[in-house]
Amino acid sequence: MAELSKADHSAQPPRVEVPRSYNAAHDLIERNLRAGRGGKLAYVDDRGSCTYAELARRVNRFASALAGLGLRAEDRVMVCLLDSVDWPVAFLGAIKAGVVPVAVNTLLKPQDYEYMLRDSRARVLFVSQALLPSFEGLAARVPTLERTVVSAAPGTGRPAAADEFETLLAAGRDEFDPADTVADEPCFWLYSSGSTGAPKGTVHVHSSLVQTAELFARPVIGISESDLVFSAAKLFFAYGLGNGLTFPLAVGATTVLMAERPTPEAVFARLTGDAPAALAQLRARPTVFYGVPTLFAGMLASTAFPPRAQLGLRVATSAGEALPARVGAAFTERTGVEILDGIGSTEMLHVFLSNRAGEVRYGTTGKPVPGYALRLVGEDGHEVAPGEVGDLYISGPSSAAMYWNQREKTRQTFQGEWTRSGDKYSVDVDGYYTYAGRSDDMLKVSGQYVSPFEVESAVASHPAVLEAAVVGVPDDDRLIKPKAYVVLKAPGTGSPQLAEELRSYVKDKLAPFKYPRWVEFVDELPKTATGKIQRFKLRG
């Protein structure tokens, strides 16, 4: 297979030249074997560890075993696995065989999985034993699903002989030639998180993975072979896929995988190197941490936050939703480490707009990632002036090919070289972009646009508030006004007096027409698994 080459001309944006004959899985694995990293740890999970040579063998065994299941090139399989080494083995093994893996959220309901199985026509399901109850009865209702293969990872108490995933690998071969795929053909699917409704099957091509590594991970994060990385965002999420698979494999780093839910306490155990056992034995601590705003806020509110001396971090990143300025500043004060807040999307595969080390401006999403072009478009179809809010469009090499079986939505989102993000932003004279909310979440109050995120940030800056979500609600005159749903740091302490205090607090921070007319205290906010607030559920 031809080598990748980088072209960086002064008059053109940086890009990665990917040869026409290209298999993404083969590239990400073989580059490490050629570099002599076969004996280096690729993954540490809850069961143990796996070297690059072992990962290569497992990927080859998986790829070769797929033929025994009757799968052919371009067939689709669904991957619904908890984060363990089985996840990259299934994902990369399918890609190497020319089979298209459809990676799905592990936190969904049976009706969601039935929809995705029917929509994708996946012939085989690879699922963790702990998730199997959510698929009960689906095989009988989805005629295109021919077989289910269950993984016992992470440890569930099942005897090893009952681990169907391991049995499948045992039937494969240590050597396997990659399928004759091309850079522009479908490689894998991710379903959009559904923050504004039903999820969409988003089809990505083989060249997209390596583009995100070369354009974002290397120059912005500065990831290298010496890093130990840990992502609280799971592998099924576009953000987590880059963090825990593409980026470390592109440079030969080592990755810590965690199957359990990313509570602050579970995250602290990984960041300090106390868990899992294999990581503790290495006496190593992650140097790169990938989180989301809700998690960073929860970590800072936890009394178990470890002392700075117990951490080995050099950089942290955030995506999924805009990071409140107070959260970023508090994390840096506590740890001495900057959070590089950025934005990506399922459609663009990873981050295309981000803060940079040493140039962080909390409250903004930073500047465009090299290789990506951005523009902000107003209601008149023209680009807006600095300081004005517009719809964000992105042009870059990692854009998805389409939404599966949704032609009209494909045409609305993928417009020539530009991808419509659905987010609203403004940009200042220094080139820093500031989030203004989702395009369909913007409120028109007293004849003026109001960004829900701006109001949420103001409410959340109050010392009693953990997080907030703002939606538009009609008043008695059926005019739209902001309403805030508020989660407090001390549950159960909400009162009419505190609600009035929050209203007055926001009035002092923002233009008077922007303050929330109503404040409702809730135990939690509805969110996608990627941490995005589902405001449509609050409006419903």
Residue type, 445: V
Write down the pLDDT at residue 8.
Answer: 36
Cα–Cα distance for residue pair 330/219, rounded to 1 Å: 25
Q: What CATH number does the domain containing 56 carry?
A: 3.40.50.12780
Tokens of 338: 């900057």
Q: Tell me the whole-structure pTM to 2 decimals.
A: 0.85
Among 427, 456, 477, the domain boundary falls at 427
Residue-wise pLDDT tens digits, 140-162: 999 999 999 999 988 545 544 46
Concatenating the DSSP letter of every residue in 321-371 gives SPPPHHHHHHHHHHHS--EEEEE--TTT-S-SEE--TT---TTS-BEEPTT
Helices 496-509, 452-460: axis angle to 10 degrees equals 120
Cα–Cα distance for residue pair 488/265, rounded to 1 Å: 19
Write down the pLDDT at residue 529.
Answer: 66
Residue type, 463: P
Specify if 1 maps to a domain: no
Residue type, 280: A
Among 373, 403, 427, the domain boundary falls at 427
Q: For residues 326 and 308, which has the higher predicted lDDT (pLDDT)?
A: 308
Specify if 63 maps to a domain: yes
Asked whether the beta carbons of 140 and 125 are under 8 A apart, the reply is no
**Together in a domain, 137 and 219:** yes
Cα–Cα distance for residue pair 438/132, rounded to 1 Å: 34
Residue-wise pLDDT tens digits, 236-277: 999 999 999 999 999 999 999 999 999 999 999 999 999 999
Does residue 320 carry a pLDDT above 90? no
Question: Cis bond leading into 219, ω under 30°?
Answer: no
Does residue 446 carry a pLDDT above 70? no
Strand order across the 367-368 sheet = 49-51, 41-44, 254-256, 228-231, 288-291, 315-318, 339-343, 353-354, 367-368
Specify if 103 maps to a domain: yes
**Together in a domain, 123 and 191:** yes
> 72: which DSSP letter?
-
Write down the pLDDT at residue 11.
Answer: 34
Does residue 440 carry a pLDDT above 80? no
Q: Nearest Cα to 183, choosing from 6, 398, 370?
A: 398
Write down the pLDDT at residue 9.
Answer: 30
Write down the pLDDT at residue 496.
Answer: 96
What's the mean pLDDT in 361-389? 96
Share of the chain above pLDDT 90, in %: 80
Specify if 7 maps to a domain: no
Q: For residues 294 and 306, which has the higher predicted lDDT (pLDDT)?
A: 306
Cα–Cα distance for residue pair 121/167, rounded to 1 Å: 24
Does residue 447 carry a pLDDT above 80? no
Question: How many CB atoms are located within 10 Å of the residue 91 CB?
Answer: 25
Question: How many CB atoms are located within 10 Å of the residue 218 CB?
Answer: 16
Specify if 10 maps to a domain: no
What's the mean pLDDT in 201-209? 98
The distance from CA 36 to its chain's CA centroid, rounded to whole angstroms, is: 30
Does residue 76 carry a pLDDT above 90? yes
Cα–Cα distance for residue pair 57/64, rounded to 1 Å: 11
Domain of 531, in residue numbers: 441-539
User: pLDDT band at 7, cuts 50/70/90?
Assistant: very low
Does residue 311 carry a pLDDT above 80? yes
End-to-end CA distance of the chain: 52
Tokens of 275: 């868990």
Specify if 433 maps to a domain: no
Asked whether the beta carbons of 435 and 343 are under 8 A apart, the reply is yes
Concatenating the DSSP letter of every residue in 271-316 gives HTT-SSHHHHHHT---SEEEE-HHHHHHHHH-TTPPPGGG---SEE
**Together in a domain, 194 and 275:** yes
Query: Of the given ranges (1-5, 85-89, 154-158, 333-337), which has the lowest mean pLDDT?
Result: 1-5
**Together in a domain, 389 and 492:** no
Does residue 180 carry a pLDDT above 50? yes
Q: Nearest Cα to 140, choosing from 106, 163, 107, 117?
A: 117
Residue-wise pLDDT tens digits, 40-50: 999 999 999 99
What's the mean pLDDT in 107-126? 94
In order of 4, 318, 434, 458, the CA distances from 343 in angstroms are: 26, 8, 11, 20
Write down the pLDDT at residue 156.
Answer: 47
Domain count, the chain: 2
**Together in a domain, 392 and 473:** no
**Together in a domain, 385 and 499:** no
Q: For residues 7 and 292, which has the higher predicted lDDT (pLDDT)?
A: 292
**Together in a domain, 253 and 294:** yes
Write down the pLDDT at residue 3.
Answer: 39
Does residue 463 carry a pLDDT above 80? yes
Q: For residues 58 and 448, which has the higher predicted lDDT (pLDDT)?
A: 58
**Together in a domain, 221 and 365:** yes
**Together in a domain, 243 and 310:** yes
Write down the pLDDT at residue 13.
Answer: 52
Does residue 527 carry a pLDDT above 90? no
149 by DSSP, 3-state: which? strand
Among 383, 399, 427, the domain boundary falls at 427
Specify if 374 maps to a domain: yes
Asked whether the beta carbons of 264 and 302 are under 8 A apart, the reply is yes
79 by DSSP, 3-state: which? strand
**Together in a domain, 364 and 491:** no
**Together in a domain, 343 and 453:** no
66 by DSSP, 3-state: which? helix
Query: Of the given ranges (12-16, 297-301, 334-338), which has the lowest mean pLDDT?
Result: 12-16
Share of the chain above pLDDT 70, in %: 93
- Mean pLDDT score of the chain: 92
> 391: which DSSP letter?
E
Write down the pLDDT at residue 162.
Answer: 63
Question: How many CB atoms are located within 10 Å of the residue 534 CB?
Answer: 18
Cα–Cα distance for residue pair 232/210, rounded to 1 Å: 21
Q: For residues 488 and 196, which has the higher predicted lDDT (pLDDT)?
A: 488
Tokens of 374: 């951005």
Does residue 198 carry a pLDDT above 80? no
**Together in a domain, 466 and 334:** no
Query: Of the given ranges (82-86, 281-285, 400-404, 511-515), which has the lowest mean pLDDT?
Result: 511-515
Question: Cis bond leading into 276, ω under 30°?
Answer: yes
Cα–Cα distance for residue pair 124/66, rounded to 1 Å: 10
Specify if 13 maps to a domain: no
Write down the pLDDT at residue 109.
Answer: 84
Q: What CATH number does the domain containing 487 carry?
A: 3.30.300.30
Q: Strand 433-438 relative to strand 418-427: parallel, antiparallel, unpaired?
A: antiparallel
